[in-house]
Chain A
């Protein structure tokens, strides 16, 4: 040891006690404790242990099944087993779901694709013949497949084929189908075949499968047949039940008609169903009667309200063999309206009045309660008693209806109330020129606010009326509407205002005035003769007619015919 090394020893001996003490204690622990395994040794030990566990697990997984299931052949030796067929209307896919409660247990395994139509059980439905020799469809209570004529259906053959042997072919209804004929989506356990129902008069078609072949190495073998070999597809019958309604008589309170039911395939009869005729008032069924399934039934419903609209519905309950089962089918539905006992007739309108008559049937049962004059929005303008036959003081150029309310006595102590509406009544100011001046013609028109030349005054002024010249020897002037005379002068003429204050008719250039102020005049009353009085003196005798509505001049030609 050289000098430097001695110094190094001194230096090392001068390491702080804190450091030396800590490491010395650790050194003592490690030297006197259990020897630490190297990390490599630890990893090796764990790896070895894990390997042993893995090997044991594998052995157990292989040996145990062999010990307890010695009778199970290896997957590679399992013979494919046919389990059954299903039918669908669309190409099956794994995403379609089915109500498994309707599927026989043999096909309820989830590894098979599932389809929306259930399988017919092996029991065949009973077939019965009616008197015409046609095949009927037995009511077996079995679920079945349904299809229409000429419809494409997909038949899926289900095979349990865990070894995934290639399926070569199968025979269906004595026709051999090779694997290239299978539809897309087919696999080693689900063979899909597309079949067209075709034209058939049969009520059902049976599809029977046989001789399913598969390839095992170099050999062609038969699939073991375990499931139902036949699947039945019922053909939807086109001859569904129908009804016809004949000899219908709609009265005031009674409707009567004949119902004839046609059920060529006895679907209603075989279903044990019935045919019902119902009368609806809106959505409320108010009456119902059953009719014969065979033949014709005369149906009568009474105590209906005269003039009211009803709806008739004829419904039958049966199995239409469409897959929906026993349910109600509406065979006929029609609305009808009962005759009204009261009709508004002979409506006569004048400028401000309406006159009418009522035609009443079954007068001994009908009592007119009231008559209402309605406006365009069916608001009541005027109300009259049951014996009212006119309404006066009406406004022209308006629309009205008459609503007659009457009661109807069924005769058994029961009564009903009914209403009838008249046709639309147009009050369009039905003034006739002839009414004011016989065969009168208008020579000068209304100018509104435009000033026109006045030959009498030789100036331009507004002509706020029409000049009517007589066409006959009768030069009388007659009142257009009823009212009160407010003016009666030879110069100014006669002014008559309607009692409702709406109308004022001015009759100017009138002579031989026969009314006085305050007189009540009725329409058509002669009030004077055509003259040349006043401002119109230059011209031939004529009547200057002015009409004010609510105080304003209007063009009389809008109200004159």
Chain B
């Protein structure tokens, strides 16, 4: 991908123009995407993969996936569109990676945190389980404040580190940790009411 030096020399295009490039099958679209969202997407991949090379490859796969998605898609929020693609690719690559890491990737750490409140047993109808838990989770997230929702999404969807989240919000790490603990507690209680508990 383009180096930082290269990125710094080109003009950053607005999303509509980038999407138009895709639609017009201009390869310039990839460059423009990388210029604008490359670093951002890299962090998403790195959060999950915890590996630079894997993250770079994930990024390349993201651009390929985007080239193949636009058209027919015409996303209005390009960075959201790209974020999802990158995350999915990174997760897929993560699943395939069997090698143990001395330092577990943030996604594992965050999922370990989520285990305490995701009180369900594997073995049930997985599709139904995913559907039910997802419904409950979505309803619960709508009861949270904007900051709480942001913290939850950053931590458990994007696997951002506590420090990264604290830095984004201008808070202390302890504050973020308290927020997450409170959110998890509320999620656990909500799931328990729906019958999903360990007791």
Contact = CB atoms under 8 A, between A and B. Distances in A.
A21 B149 CA distance: 12
**Chain A contact patch, size range:** 35 or more
Given A10-B130, A20-B157, A4 B168 contact: no
B153 A31 contact: no
Interface stretch (B22-30, B52-60, B62-70, B108-116): B108-116
Contact of B141 (A7, A15, A38): A15
B103 interface: no
A12 B156 contact: yes
**Chain B contact patch, size range:** 35 or more
Interface string B167-178: 111111000000
A69 interface: no
A28 B91 contact: no
A413 to B, nearest CB: 116
Given A13-B88, A15-B141, A31 B40 contact: yes
Contacts of B166: 38
B138 interface: yes
B80 A11 contact: no
Kindly name the residue among B94, B131, B133 whose own CB sees the greatest number of chain A CB atoms within 10 A.
Answer: B133
Given A15-B137, A20-B80, A20-B157, A5 B168 contact: no
Contacts of B94: 1
Contact of A27 (B39, B108, B153): B153
User: Which DSSP category, helix, strand, loop or mixed, fits chain A's interface?
Assistant: helix
A43 B113 CA distance: 32
B95 interface: yes
B147 to A, nearest CB: 10
A10 B129 CA distance: 10
B84 interface: yes
Contacts of A21: 77, 80
B40 A9 contact: no
Contact of A7 (B107, B122, B149): B122
A26 B165 CA distance: 12
B150 A1 contact: no
A70 interface: no
A15 B170 contact: no
A455 B57 CA distance: 170
B149 A38 contact: no
B152 to A, nearest CB: 8
B83 interface: yes
Nearest to A23: B153
Interface string B116-136: 001010100010011101100
Interface in A1-55: 1, 3-16, 19-28, 30-32, 35-42
A226 to B, nearest CB: 66
Contact of B157 (A1, A5, A15, A30): A15
A99 to B, nearest CB: 67
User: Which DSSP category, helix, strand, loop or mixed, fits chain B's interface?
Assistant: helix
B138 A27 contact: no
Contacts of A38: 166, 170-172
A8 B111 contact: yes
Given A23-B149, A26-B150, A28-B40, A11 B77 contact: no
A40 to B, nearest CB: 7
B62 to A, nearest CB: 14
A85 B37 CA distance: 89
B95 A6 contact: yes
B154 interface: yes
Given A15-B138, A21-B77, A27 B169 contact: no
B151 to A, nearest CB: 9
A11 B84 CA distance: 14
B158 A27 contact: yes
B114 A7 contact: no
A457 B54 CA distance: 170
B43 A31 contact: yes
B79 interface: yes
Nearest to B76: A21
Interface in A202-239: none
Nearest to A37: B170
Contacts of A9: 91, 107, 111
Nearest to B84: A20
Contacts of B84: 20, 24
A16 B138 contact: yes
A24 B79 contact: yes
Contacts of B122: 3-4, 7
B172 A28 contact: no
A27 B130 contact: no
A21 to B, nearest CB: 5
Contacts of B108: 1, 5
Contact of A11 (B91, B118, B170): B118
Contacts of A36: 167-170
Contacts of A1: 94-95, 107-108, 111
Given A10-B130, A14-B134, A20 B118 contact: no
A25 B138 contact: no
Contacts of B154: 23, 27
B171 A5 contact: no
Contacts of A30: 168-169
A531 to B, nearest CB: 141
19 contacts: A1-B94, A5-B108, A5-B111, A9-B107, A10-B130, A14-B134, A19-B138, A19-B141, A19-B149, A20-B80, A20-B157, A23-B150, A23-B153, A24-B79, A24-B80, A27-B83, A27-B153, A27-B160, A30-B169
Interface of B: 37, 39-40, 43, 77, 79-80, 83-84, 87-88, 91, 94-95, 107-108, 111, 114-115, 118, 120, 122, 126, 129-131, 133-134, 137-138, 141-142, 149-150, 153-154, 156-158, 160, 166-172
Given A19-B149, A30-B169, 15 more contacts: A4-B118, A5-B108, A5-B111, A8-B111, A9-B91, A9-B111, A12-B157, A13-B87, A14-B134, A14-B137, A16-B141, A20-B83, A24-B80, A24-B153, A36-B169
Interface of A: 1, 3-16, 19-28, 30-32, 35-42
